[in-house]
Structure formats: C-alpha cells, structure tokens
Structure 1
Amino acid sequence: MTAEQQHEQALLLLRDYEDSGAGWFWASNAEGRVIYISQCIAQRLECPHVELLDRQVQSLFILERDENDGVERTLPLLLSARKTFNDLAVRAAVEGHEVWWSISGRPQFDSEGTFIGYRGNGTDITALRQSQRDASRLAEYDSLTGLANRHRMGKRLLSTLNAYQAARRACAVMMIDLDRFKQVNDTLGHQAGDELLKQVAQRLQSVIAEKGCEIGRLGGDEFQILLPDLDDRGRLGEIAQKIIQMVSQPYQIEGSRVIIGASVGVAISPYDGVGADELVRSADLALYASKGGGRGQFRFYSSDLHAEAERRRQIEDDLRDALARNQIWLAYQPIIETKSDRVIGVESLLRWTHPELGDVSPAVFIPIAEEAGLIGALGDWALKQACADAARWPGTLRVAVNVSPVQFTNVGFAGVVTQALANSGLEPERLELELTESIFLNDDQVTDDAFSSLKLLGVRLALDDFGTGYSSLGYLRKAPFDKIKIDQGFIRGVTEPGSRNRAIISAIVSLAGALDMDTTAEGIEAHDELGLMRELGVKQIQGYIYAQPLPEMMVAEALEDGTWTIKPEGPSKYRPERRTVLRKVGLIHEDHRYEVTMRNLSRTGAMIEGLVDVPVGEKFVVDFGEGQLAVAEVRRSAGAMQGLEFETPLVDDGAGGLCTRHRVSPYLIVQAGMQLTALQPGQSLLPGMMPGTVGLSMPKFGQVNERARGNRAA
C-alpha cells in the first residue's frame, strides 16, 4: 500500500470514527478561531455547520470550574498558555442545549517553532454527567418530596454555621413534626401517606419565601427549615404560625378529605447553640415542648425547657394513676341565658389535684393525656361522673361534657353514653356533648355513624371552638349540631377599634340562626364584651363575668331554690391581659443594674417593684435574662411600684408567654475575650452589669430590701 493510499485509509477511518458518534475532532488557528470541527457537533447543536467555523473556541465551550482545587480557570486562559490539556469537562455554550463534552487539545507549531493553533478531540459525556447529577441528587435530596434530605440539611447547616461564626451572623432552624400523620397512614395506607407528604412539602415551599432558606425532609413526617440571617423572633413566630395554619388546612387524598396538624420548634444560633448538633438539639427540645403543650403550636427554645421536659415526664407517670387515686375531679362553669342572666346549663371541666404539685392546669395535663393514650379513660370517667352529678341536681339543668376525637371515633362510644345515661338516670336531653372540629379528621363513615347513634339517643351536640380549627361549612350542612360555641379567641379585643372579630361573630350568629342552632360565647370577662354579645344576638354566655368553674357541691346548693340567676360582675372594659409573673429581673439605669420583682407583664409594659423615688418619665433597660433587653419608660410610680411602658412591644413566644423580638448577641462574649457559647440562664452580656457590680457613679435610686420588709410585716 502506498503512502497516499495509507493516508486515504486513515482519513476514512477518522470519518467512520466521527460518524459513529464515539468521538469528534476540532482545530483552531493561531488567533483561536475554529478552522475545523466535526459535522456531528453541528448536528448535536442543531445548527448549520458553517456557523461553527471561524468562531472563537471559547465561544463554543464553557469550562466547568473545579470546586475541589478551588482555582478559577477559564478556557481563554488555558488556550493562551499554549500547553497541552486533556479531558477537560466543558458545556456547550449554546442556550437551550444541555450538552457536555470532554475535550483535549495539543498546541501546533511550524518548522520554525511558531505557534499555528490547536488540534484536539472530544467525546460526548452528557449521559455520564446526567447520571452523576442524578446520583448526586439521590444522595442529597428526598426522592419522595424533592426536598433536601437529612444528609444535605446537616451538611448545609454545618457549613452555614461555620461561615456565620466568622461573620458574626445569625441563623435560625425550625423543626416541624406533623400531628396525627400516623393515623392517616394507618387508616388510608402508606400510599396515601406518601401523597400527603408531597402536598405538605408543596405547602411548606409556598410559605417559605425568605432568600437563602432551605427546606428538608429528615424522614417520616419530620421536616427542617434553615433560615439564614434571621433572628427576629416576631418574624419567626409569624412564619411558624403560618406554617401551622397552612399545613392544617384540609387535603384531598384519593377521594378522601384528610386533616392533620403541625407542631414547630425554633432555635437560633448563636443564642441557642453555636454548633450544628447543639442548635438542632435545642430546636428538637422546642419541638418536643410544642407537642407537649397541646400540638398545633410553636415554641422558641429556652433553657428552662430542660426542666419542663423532666416535669412533663413526671406528670405523665403520675397521671396514669391519678384516677385510681381519686385525684381527678370535675368542676362546673355556669352557662347563662344572655337576656335573663339565668343559668341554663353548666360545662363540666376536668381538674387534677396532685399531692405534690397541687392543682395541675388542664392546659398541661390534657395534651399529655392525649399523647400518652390516657384521654379515652379520662373522658369516659368524666362523662359518667357528670351524668351522675347532674342526675342528683333538682330541675332540668343541662350538663355539657367535652368529648375528645379519640372517644368520638371509638365505635363503642355510643354504648358508653347509653350506659352513663342508664346508670345515672339522667334524661338524654339534659346531656350536651361538646365536640371540636378535629373529629372531622378523616370525614369517614365512622364519624357519620357516631352522629346518627348519638342523635337516636336524644342527646344534644355542640360544636366547640368554632372557627379555630378546620372550619368547613360542608360538615355543618350534614352534622346534626344543636349549638355552636364561639371561641374566646374571637372575643379577645372584639370591642377594640378596627377589630374584625365583631363581623366574624355576627356572621356566626346569623349562620347558627339559619341552621336553627344556639350560640354560646366563651370567655366573656368585661361588661363591654357582654353588651356587644347581647347586641349581636348571642343566645348564651360563658365566662368569668358570671362565674368561674365551681365544685359540684356549690352547684347543688345554688339549685336548691329552683331558679339560679347570676348577676354579671367584672371590669367595664376589656384590657389586654397582664400576666402575673412574680419573677426577678434586672433594671439597668446608667452604669447600675438593680434587682427588682416583676409582678405582671403584657406586650406593651410591666409592673415592677423594688426601687423608690423613681420619677415618671425615667427610662430603664429591663434585663429579662438570656440576652433579652427591653427599653422602657416609667409611666406610673407610687412608692416602690412602677408601671413601665416598653419602647418596642414584646412578641408571642408560642407558649402563651412573651419575649423580646431580639436578643443581645453572644458574639459580645468574644469581644470580651471569652469563648463563644450559647446564652446561659441568668447570663448578662453587658460588661459591668452583673448583679452586685459597683458602678462608676452613685446609684440614683434607692432599692427596697424585700426580706426586711417581709420581716417587718410578720
């Protein structure tokens, strides 16, 4: 074979190689312009071959940055170096085409050593890149919801916190757990549960709009949200509340209406944890507290949650034996006919007198009983005891009993009611069962059958806390309720200018009237609230303006004369609640820190005791501890008591309490030469402001010696 024939054969082999798609060739001149490129590249990019010629090489390819070596390289830089390169991963610089190649190039020189351009080859690695990307996504993203998985969230949190410590920036973490998800999984199946998780993920993505945030599913029904540069607890509380509201809206799953809830725990770095593990533990503890507080709530982390968790475990253990030890009893709150002030019924309320803890609030032990599976036994006991008590009372006073969703959906519940009525001899029409909207969780046949059975017995049914849960006019259409109870959340602030609650209550009253139902307004405490309820046509009133819950013996005594009438007594106008707290706080003035007692607290102010000779208009900084500082001005002053007004209102802490929007950053500790740590109980971050520290000037105010005052009083 001649040299010419060999050359032709080589060209044929190269042409076959190009046509096979296994590889391709390119060449450029000394100016970096393309003088040859295989025809298959034009076909791959869906453009005329001639358009690829005479273009700069870098206009066709984009070099991928190597994240491992941290060096920013560009293709023009490599070409100008006139060195050989091999297997560079490049992407087609053509919009609308996701094409990747691995290219190599060798500089060419003439006989005199002058650079004349490059010759090179390439192979298509698009399929490999997509496979690598899919594998990477599987390693970092949840295949069901498309959200980040536990691995990615942990890696992202760790890298964020490391970077933010150097920059002294804050970062919040939210832990979210779905309430009653297991019940949906058990009743509708795992396929329905998976579909529900997908819809929850979509709702979370619609809520979280903050830049740089990431949402992850850690597994099961647990989610996590990373919120960089956010430490405003007012804003975080709003986000948490919106998440709870969005997740709690009804879902349509395989033709069934499904309702779940959500609990949220929030922790913020560096206040609640410096490292990733510490911050996640704090958020987990806050989540545990929110679930223990009744679910459907959010909680911020605080150091006292450790003690609260231990106390909760003790309460759960002791609650298991409380019934057997006769520690559980019923109190009865009168329900008043609005027009006549006549008592027409009472609501039975569970009470627990603990031998060591004293009276344990129902807000504490009822959620624990629900989570521990004890609410069914407690509810059945309350039903039987209320019927027995009411049967002994003279007259026809009705008794209302709260029924948990667990009780109501039990197929034997109607039998329990029948037995309670038969054993006590109470007429069915005197028993009113109060149900919350959560009984419509799955909107299934069990719920419909329970309604039918109870109405056949002749008992009355009341819809409790209307408008606060999973409100739907659909179930009012078919559920045979006799009464709607307006939740006190709509009562609070109803008489204040600009409140929309008046319109809401008016609409509820009209709706109930159209459906031939009674209405009861709960939580009425002031005369202006009572007057408005009368004006709006609410038929029944329940609240402290008439009576607090009473022991059974007092109810029996009040009924001895036949008619039981109570005159309303209370403040003329509603005022925002001030919580009685009786706790020590710091009061900072100039370079002195005083210890005082805070006696009550509201969003806008507090009453403190401990300083004398304080004029109205004086300004202080209130140190609540754990970095919480609030600027306040004295509005009232009498003796050792001062009424303070906060410059910035406090915000809801998710647990029925209040907290400051912002806290003093622990990064101040670093400035003082100390190691960075999360906030500790009682820790002051202001230099020279620890209790007992002597200031540079004489203290301006005298401080009351409360121990001495107590001794004199004795």
Structure 2
Amino acid sequence: MPAVSNPKRTPLFRLITIASSGMGSFILGLWGLRFGFGDGMAGMPAETMAGVIAALCALAAGGAALSFFAGVDESAAYVFQETHFDKLTGLLSRQAMVGKIAEAASGTIRTGEPVFLIDIDIDRFKHINDAIGYSQGDELICAFTSRLTENMPEDAVIGRIGAGEFAVLLPDRQIRGSIERLIEKLINEMMEPYQLQTHLQSVSLSVGIVAMPKDGVDPVLVLRRSNLALQNARASGIGNWSVFNADMGRVADYRQWIESELKTAFDRGDFSLHYQPQLDLPSRRIVGYEALIRWKHPERGMIPPMEFIPIAEETGMINPIGEWVLRKACSDARYLPEECFVAVNISPVQFMTRDFVGIVREVMESTGIKPSRLELEVTETAMMQDRDRAAAILEQLAEMGISVAVDDFGTGYSNLSYLIDFSFGKLKIDRSFVSRIDTDSSSGAIVSTIVGLSRALGVGIIAEGVETENQATLLRAAGCEVVQGYLFGRPAPLKVELGEARSAFGTHEPARIVSLQ
C-alpha cells in the first residue's frame, strides 16, 4: 500500500516533541522543589522570577502542543490513507477515483483532449469468492491487480471501485494505437488463468468505456455511464466490451425492471418449459429433448432467456429457478418415450453451489427418473471456475450414472487439457460453427476437428442450431450424427392427452404426446 509521506511522522520528530515537553515540565518541577514557589523565591527580582517560570512553561507547553498537533496530523494522514487507498491492493479507492475523474474532467474541458474511463469487472466474482473462499478470493484480486497494472501504461490512474470491479483513467495521448485494440489485448491478457496457491483459477471479464468530455464530465454521471456500458457488454456474453451510448439508459431501466420482477415471477409461476427434439440423423429418430425455460409475463408477454438468465445469475435467483427447471424436466420425462433422455442446462452459478450434487440426487429420488434418462449441459466456463471442485462434481455425477455434455464447445476455454481431467459424456458443437459450416471452410474444419476429438476421447457428439438440410448433410459427412435445430423442430411446450397418457416408468410402451407446439 502506498505510504503517505509526512516528516512529522518520523521517529526523530516524535523524540524532539516528547523531549521538549518532558524537559520543560521536569525542570519546572525541580525548580519548584529546590526554591519553592512564593516565599522561597522572595530574594529573586520579580522580573527574573517571572521570566524563568514563563520560559519553562513555554518549553513544556510548546512541546505538548507540537506533540498534540503531530498526533492530529498523524490521525488525519491515517484517515486519508484509509479512505483514499484500497487496503488489499493498494490501488486508489472509489472515493479517490471520483476525485481523479473530477481532475481529469477539468483538464479535458480546458484542453479538449479526450480522457477514457475504463470500467473492468470480473464476472460473477461474488460466486467465485463464495466457491473458493475469501482467502483465495483475496489472492485472486491481488494477482488480477498485478496483471492489470502490468498491462496498462505507466501513468494510467487505476482504482478498485468494487469487490471485483476496477476503474482506469487513461488520457488519449497515452494510448498507442486505438482504444479498441488496447481493450481487446487487455481482455485477452486478463482472462488467462491465474495460478493460486491451491489451483488454477479462470475468470471472464466485462468492460465498459466512456470518453470525456463527449460522454459527460460529472464524476458520478461518468461512473454510472461506464457501468451501463459494462452491463451492456456483459449481456452480450463473456469477454466482451462496450462503449457507452445514450440508449443504454433505457437498457439499464429495463434490466432493473427484470431484476425487480424475477422473484415475483417465480412465486407467481410465470415460468414454463419448452422442449426441443434431438435427432439421430441416419434414422431420423428422436433420441432426446432439451428442456428450455420460458418466461411469459402477464403484461409484457414473453421475456427472452438471454435477457433474464444473466440477471438471475447476478442476483442469485438462478439457484431456485434452476432447481425448478431440473425438477420440472425430470418430472416431465415420464411422459416422454422411455428411450428418450431429457437434457437440462445448468448455470455456472448453479453448478458451483456447494450442495449441487445433493440437489440433483434428491430431485432424481423424488421424481423417479432413471439416471440414464437425465443429461446435464454445462459450459466450459462453468467447469473452469474451479477445476478441482468441478472435477469432483463431475466425478460424483458420473458415479450416479448421469451424463454431462460440454455445452457451447469451442467458444470458451482455450486450453483443452481439462478434457483429460474431467468426466463427461458428450461434446455439443456450438451453433456459431454450425451456422457457417456451408459457407465458411474454417467452420467446417473446426467441426471435423471437434468430431475427431470426441472419437479420440470416446464421448458422444451433438450439433445444435441446424436450420438447413445442407447443414445436416455436411454434419453427417463430418461424422456428427446427432443434431438439434429448427430444421427438426422448434422448442415447444409438452402437451399430453389426458386419459391416454401413461407414465413411461415400468412399461415398454411410450407415453402418448399430443403435440410439441
């Protein structure tokens, strides 16, 4: 932590103040004992006596005053240190950053030179902190701070303004090249795993940018707008950045509305599940269904999952919502053909909760679903938050007979070594590769590589987002025979004909599904 330079706090100065105060008091006391005050000093001229006493009193009082004001000054310096610097990292505090932003705003108004405020936040830091413990969370923050400082120009002003949130003030003249290039490089560097004492920790970032004076000069307003840009970046996915624009205020209001409505929607029963079939291409036979959550608000209608799921993760509502999805999907499985499984998406936040495996076990017992009929889809990012813990969770799920699919494969973590350490049963090729397989040779090569990797590992493979027959043909030619997408059916609610539907458990005859509309 930076020290506050102050000559009045040195040991020499303290010694002088104490000595002067003590010496004056001591000599004055001896004088009184030796000569007495009053009659014992009668032979001394009054002027001399008054002068001696006044001098000794002044010496004592001066030393005491110096000591007092040194203490006041030291207390003020301590308060300054506590309020202007972050204890853990030594970076500027939020309060100090507000002052620095005000200074930068004054400068940019005077010179016209743009100054950028960069808001950097570790995604889901609270959940990471809860999962790995506060001690290792502090270690992660310190490692993050060191790397951030190394990747910024020497004169950049850096502060810690939240638990996992940092702000950087950067004049345009200090940027070599464009701000966009700097941010892209920064994100790539900062998202490399961090070696902690006990494990390798991965993180994802969201970054928001404002430019003064164009986007404002009031420090509080500028900070708010940088955070709006950050939230906009987070809504776009991991590792993204965004520059503030005026429309983001409306987006922020909408996000706040969603956050306030989530608990009410859950209690009111607004959520439902839609199912999308997964097909075996050679036989065109349905082998499973993916359960997808839908939210129909009584006034605003359908709210897309991409709009409310990230907010549910940030607020912690994803845990009760995710458990409801798991329980509902396992319960609905009794109406599906017995040879079909049901696939359930698991949020990274949900996956890393301490009692996740226990919840899965209890849901299976209460619904009676066979382990072979349940598949959990987990992203690479979720598994890399804490590799050791993730490996233990996956091992327990495998022992229970539950298959785990790596969702959005190829879009997250770049180091494939985790594939050797983790127990999983399937790779799911992301739709971003499938959508371009017939127009981009690189996407086709990536798909073929993923298929080859799945064979080498001895795990299953499925492709999502198939919308055309040509895509399906190319996927099959590449060796991927299980697919999912609009070509074969859109997500739809499960409807069972009452009176004729029978549970698939304990019988070889499938339940009758009226429609997936």
Is 1:279 matched up with 2:222?
Answer: yes
- Measure how far apart 1:214 and its partner are: 4.5
Is 1:404 matched up with 2:347?
Answer: yes
The verdict on how the C-alpha distance between 1:528 and 1:241 changes in structure 2, with shifts beyond 3 A counting, is: farther
Is 1:224 matched up with 2:167?
Answer: yes
| Aligned partner of residue 174 in structure 1, secondary structure | strand
Range 339-348 or range 375-384, more displaced: 339-348
TM-score w.r.t. the length of structure 2 is 0.71
Which one of the candidate residues 246, 259, 274 is aligned to 2:189?
246
- Report 1:347-496 matches (<5 A): 347-443=290-386, 446-496=389-439
Aligned to 1:181: 125
- Is the CA contact 1:184–1:258 (under 8 Å) kept in the aligned structure 2? no
- Is the CA contact 1:487–1:521 (under 8 Å) kept in the aligned structure 2? yes
- Measure how far apart 1:494 and its partner are: 4.1
| Aligned partner of residue 451 in structure 1, secondary structure | helix
- Report 1:582-593 matches (<5 A): none
Deviations 1:317-370 (A, max 9, x none): 222122332211001111122334332211100000000110001001111111
Aligned to 1:201: 145
- Is the CA contact 1:176–1:262 (under 8 Å) kept in the aligned structure 2? yes
Aligned to 1:23: none
> In structure 1, what is the Cα distance between the partners aligned to 2:170 and 2:439?
35
- Report 1:42-441 matches (<5 A): 145=89, 153-154=97-98, 156-205=100-149, 207-208=151-152, 213-218=156-161, 220-229=163-172, 236-237=179-180, 239-291=182-234, 296-441=239-384
- Measure how far apart 1:555 and its partner are: 11
Is 1:532 matched up with 2:480?
Answer: no
- Measure how far apart 1:242 and its partner are: 4.2
Counting matched residue pairs gives 425
Aligned to 1:546: 488
- Is the CA contact 1:342–1:563 (under 8 Å) kept in the aligned structure 2? no
- Measure how far apart 1:402 and its partner are: 0.9
> In structure 2, what is the Cα distance between the partners aligned to 1:503 and 1:274?
49
Deviations 1:157-200 (A, max 9, x none): 44443343344443322111222333444455555334322332
- Measure how far apart 1:513 and its partner are: 0.5
- Is the CA contact 1:256–1:442 (under 8 Å) kept in the aligned structure 2? no
- Is the CA contact 1:249–1:470 (under 8 Å) kept in the aligned structure 2? no
- Measure how far apart 1:137 and its partner are: 11
Aligned to 2:464: 522
Which one of the candidate residues 496, 501, 506 is aligned to 2:443?
501
Question: Which runs of no fewer than 5 residues in structure 2 stay unpaired?
Answer: 1-79, 513-517
The verdict on how the C-alpha distance between 1:164 and 1:462 changes in structure 2, with shifts beyond 3 A counting, is: same
- Is the CA contact 1:411–1:450 (under 8 Å) kept in the aligned structure 2? no
> In structure 2, what is the Cα distance between the partners aligned to 1:343 and 1:555?
20
- Is the CA contact 1:250–1:470 (under 8 Å) kept in the aligned structure 2? no
Paired-residue identity, % = 37
- Is the CA contact 2:273–2:292 (under 8 Å) kept in the aligned structure 1? yes
- Quick check: which one's helix share is greater? 2
The verdict on how the C-alpha distance between 1:187 and 1:429 changes in structure 2, with shifts beyond 3 A counting, is: closer
- Measure how far apart 1:276 and its partner are: 3.9
CA-based RMSD of the aligned residues comes to 3.7
- Quick check: which one's strand share is greater? 1
- Is the CA contact 2:277–2:289 (under 8 Å) kept in the aligned structure 1? yes
Letter in 2 for 1:361: P
- Measure how far apart 1:269 and its partner are: 2.5
Deviations 1:443-471 (A, max 9, x none): 36543443233223222111111222234
- Is the CA contact 1:267–1:283 (under 8 Å) kept in the aligned structure 2? yes
- Structure possessing the higher relative contact order (Cα contacts under 8 Å, 6 or more residues apart): 2
- Is the CA contact 1:216–1:224 (under 8 Å) kept in the aligned structure 2? yes
Letter in 1 for 2:120: I
| Aligned partner of residue 489 in structure 1, secondary structure | helix
- Is the CA contact 2:425–2:460 (under 8 Å) kept in the aligned structure 1? yes
| Aligned partner of residue 284 in structure 2, secondary structure | coil
- Measure how far apart 1:296 and its partner are: 4.5
The verdict on how the C-alpha distance between 1:541 and 1:563 changes in structure 2, with shifts beyond 3 A counting, is: farther
- Is the CA contact 1:463–1:483 (under 8 Å) kept in the aligned structure 2? yes
Deviations 1:190-243 (A, max 9, x none): 55334322332343345546x97554434643211234339x9x9545544444
| Aligned partner of residue 473 in structure 1, secondary structure | coil
- Is the CA contact 2:434–2:466 (under 8 Å) kept in the aligned structure 1? yes
- Is the CA contact 2:380–2:406 (under 8 Å) kept in the aligned structure 1? yes
TM-score w.r.t. the length of structure 1 is 0.53
- Measure how far apart 1:309 and its partner are: 2.4
Deviations 1:375-429 (A, max 9, x none): 1111111112112212112341111011123333344433433343344333221
Is 1:512 matched up with 2:454?
Answer: yes
- Is the CA contact 2:132–2:386 (under 8 Å) kept in the aligned structure 1? no
- Measure how far apart 1:249 and its partner are: 2.5
> In structure 2, what is the Cα distance between the partners aligned to 1:426 and 1:186?
31
> In structure 1, what is the Cα distance between the partners aligned to 2:394 and 2:201?
19
Aligned to 1:572: none
Letter in 2 for 1:515: L
